[in-house]
């Protein structure tokens, strides 16, 4: 039977210590629900302190109203203060007032911290550890003890560091979690020290690694291989300085590659969704390069790679991307070969043959367009229209007869207006619209002109607009590439336009966006009719 590894999430406490993150109580509740849904064992909610951190008290009060199915909520704090008794210690009593079933406290295990930070004796520090744990155990709590800076402490004075662990064990700690607080310990050191600890400590052990040396995930994995049964970390590696061990990498490594039990197996396919959800709540753009869940984690750009993956996915993929809710992408770029185009075309609904001269001609044309500044790897909608126009009897949905964009100042404010003249089935439509800027005005005018012919476009809207200068030597006359992201509430698609004129580049991308929406809906209708007739 596979061994169970308990996953302890500290995104709400340690993760919030990242410089650019500040959760509201509502944010923390939303993330807690998602972590519970995913199957996380422990959720560390924060450090409640009377008169200091009322937000965390609010969280612990609100989270009690949620019916969590998988997760235990944890309050975090420290051992008693130096001159206090446990009964009059504000920290310990605040932890009890948070009213969680599990409490995590940290204490010193490095002589440097004991003598130079706490400014006390080694013996007094041991008393602080013992009395604090016993006090919480007397109140029927599950107690997790985090010996702060344990690995640094062990390297300097192994005898005292181990004495801290044995003191916690004798006091009744349910877990002892070895902390690499400075993130400076390397995997070979972790392995050596964990082996020593496992020989002497019978209490279940955990690992809490920081990523200052870029090896927090590796340190966590190697600790598990040597007897650790709890892993602490954060979603997406959020945390102070360089961050914490990234649970989004640790969970699939343990579950898929090492066959341990972490979260319910059926939930692994939701890993990407969990990652993106926490990015969204934290208001941080997802990392496209993130292992397992990043947009580019299973993207293949070089023709050799794409050709090999089409034969066997194992050639360039360490796992099936679907296991973690991700998907394979074959990118069509200047480096792409015939295999990329064939794969990508099939994905978009077109069958190409390696032997067909048309396929070679399309490759040549695509590469010329990319040399001119087009970028298809992020603009599938424009690529689909390109293939549609060259591989089927495509009739344009409308013909442009003229457009004009005016930007003028009125009473100290800038106003933009676009006038468009188009033809649809020999019917001429001439209209104008204002907007927040020239591109928004163009978008409004185009959809205003087309809506009576294609009412489906009423549901679509532009959600992102990016401009990049692609020829810097020409100054203001340089070519620009415009990327437009659109949605109809169900799907999101991206189109691209290139020109020396930013208005023309924007217009080309806008036209593709509208045409893609119309084409997509028509293909869907045909598919539904086909299903009904079967």
| Element (DSSP H or E) covering residue 403 | strand 399-410
pLDDT at 334: 47
pLDDT at 380: 81
pLDDT at 335: 47
Terminal Cα-to-Cα distance of the chain (whole angstroms): 47
pLDDT tens track of the chain, all 534 residues?
689 999 999 999 999 989 889 899 999 999 999 999 999 999 999 999 876 767 889 999 999 999 999 999 999 999 999 889 999 999 999 999 999 999 999 999 999 989 898 889 999 999 999 999 999 999 999 999 999 999 999 999 999 999 999 999 999 999 999 999 999 999 999 999 999 999 999 999 999 999 999 999 999 999 999 999 999 999 999 999 999 999 999 999 999 999 999 999 999 999 999 998 898 888 887 888 899 898 776 666 554 454 454 555 555 567 788 888 877 665 555 445 566 677 667 777 777 777 777 777 777 777 777 777 777 766 788 888 888 888 777 788 999 999 899 988 888 888 899 999 999 999 999 999 998 888 889 999 998 999 999 999 988 888 888 888 876 555 445 788 888 888 888 888 889 999 988 889 999 999 999 999 998 888 888 777 766 766
Cβ neighbours of residue 401 closer than 8 Å, sequence gap 6 or more: 421, 422, 423, 428
| Element (DSSP H or E) covering residue 62 | helix 54-63
pLDDT at 109: 94
**DSSP collapsed to 3 states, 420-487:** EEEEECCEEEEEEEEECCHHHHHHHHHHHHHCCCCHHHHHCEEEEEEEEECCHHHHHHCCEEEEEEEE
Give ∠ CA 161-164-168 in degrees, rounded to 5: 150
The tokens for 305 are 């790679």
pLDDT at 152: 95
pTM: 0.69
Query: How far is the C-alpha of 446 from the C-alpha of 498, rounded, in Å?
Result: 19
- Sorted by where each starts, the structural domains of the chain and their CATH numbers stand as 6-282 (3.20.20.70), 299-371 (no CATH), 399-533 (3.30.160.270)
| Element (DSSP H or E) covering residue 180 | strand 175-180
Determine what percent of the chain falls in helix, strand and coil, rounding each to the nearest 5.
Answer: 45, 20, 30
Query: How far is the C-alpha of 300 from the C-alpha of 40, rounded, in Å?
Result: 32
């Amino acid at each position: 039977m596979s061994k169970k590894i308990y996953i302890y999430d500290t995104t709400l406490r340690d993760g919030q210590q990242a410089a650019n993150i500040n959760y509201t109580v509502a944010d923390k509740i939303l993330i807690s629900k998602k972590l519970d849904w995913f199957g996380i064992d422990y959720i560390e909610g924060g450090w409640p302190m009377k008169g200091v951190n009322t937000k965390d008290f609010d969280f612990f009060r609100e989270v009690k109203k949620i019916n969590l199915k998988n997760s235990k909520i944890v309050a975090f704090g420290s051992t008693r203060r130096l001159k206090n008794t446990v009964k009059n210690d504000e920290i310990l009593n605040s932890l009890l007032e948070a009213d969680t079933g599990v409490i995590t406290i940290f204490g010193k295990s490095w002589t440097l911290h004991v003598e130079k930070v706490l400014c006390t004796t080694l013996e007094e520090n041991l008393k602080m550890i013992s009395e604090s744990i016993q006090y919480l155990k007397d109140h029927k709590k599950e107690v997790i003890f985090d010996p702060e800076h344990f690995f640094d402490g062990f390297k300097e004075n192994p005898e005292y560091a181990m004495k801290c662990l044995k003191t916690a064990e004798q006091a009744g700690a349910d877990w002892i979690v070895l902390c690499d607080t400075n993130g400076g310990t390397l995997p070979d050191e972790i392995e050596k020290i964990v082996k020593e600890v496992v020989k002497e400590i019978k209490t279940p052990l955990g690992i809490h690694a920081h990523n200052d040396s870029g090896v927090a995930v590796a340190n966590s994995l190697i600790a598990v291989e040597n007897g650790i049964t709890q892993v602490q970390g954060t979603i997406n590696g959020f945390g102070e300085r360089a961050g914490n061990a990234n649970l989004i990498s640790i969970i699939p490594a343990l579950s898929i590659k090492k066959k341990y039990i972490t979260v319910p197996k059926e939930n692994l396919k939701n890993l990407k969704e969990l990652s993106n959800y926490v990015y969204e709540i934290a208001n941080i753009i997802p990392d496209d390069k993130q292992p397992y869940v990043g947009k580019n984690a299973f993207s293949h750009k070089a023709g050799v790679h794409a050709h090999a993956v089409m034969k066997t996915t194992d050639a360039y993929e360490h796992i099936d991307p679907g296991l973690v809710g991700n998907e394979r992408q074959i990118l069509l770029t200047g480096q792409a070969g015939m295999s990329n185009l064939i794969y990508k075309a099939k994905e978009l609904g077109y069958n190409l043959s390696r032997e067909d001269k048309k396929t070679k001609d399309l490759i040549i044309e695509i590469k010329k367009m990319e040399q001119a500044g087009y970028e298809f790897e992020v603009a599938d909608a424009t690529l689909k229209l390109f293939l549609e126009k060259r591989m089927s009897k495509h009739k344009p949905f409308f013909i442009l007869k003229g457009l004009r964009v005016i930007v003028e100042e009125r009473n100290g404010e800038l106003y933009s207006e676009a006038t468009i003249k188009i033809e649809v089935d020999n019917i001429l439509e001439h209209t104008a619209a204002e907007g927040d800027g020239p591109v928004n005005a163009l978008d409004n005018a185009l959809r205003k002109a087309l809506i009576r012919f294609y009412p489906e476009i009423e549901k679509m809207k532009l959600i992102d607009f990016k401009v990049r200068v692609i020829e810097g030597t020409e100054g203001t006359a340089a070519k620009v590439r415009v990327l437009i992201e659109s949605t109809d509430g169900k799907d999101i698609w991206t189109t691209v336009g290139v020109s020396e004129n930013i208005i023309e580049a924007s217009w080309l991308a806008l036209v593709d966006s509208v045409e893609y929406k119309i084409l997509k809906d028509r293909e869907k209708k045909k598919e539904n009719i086909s299903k009904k007739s079967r």
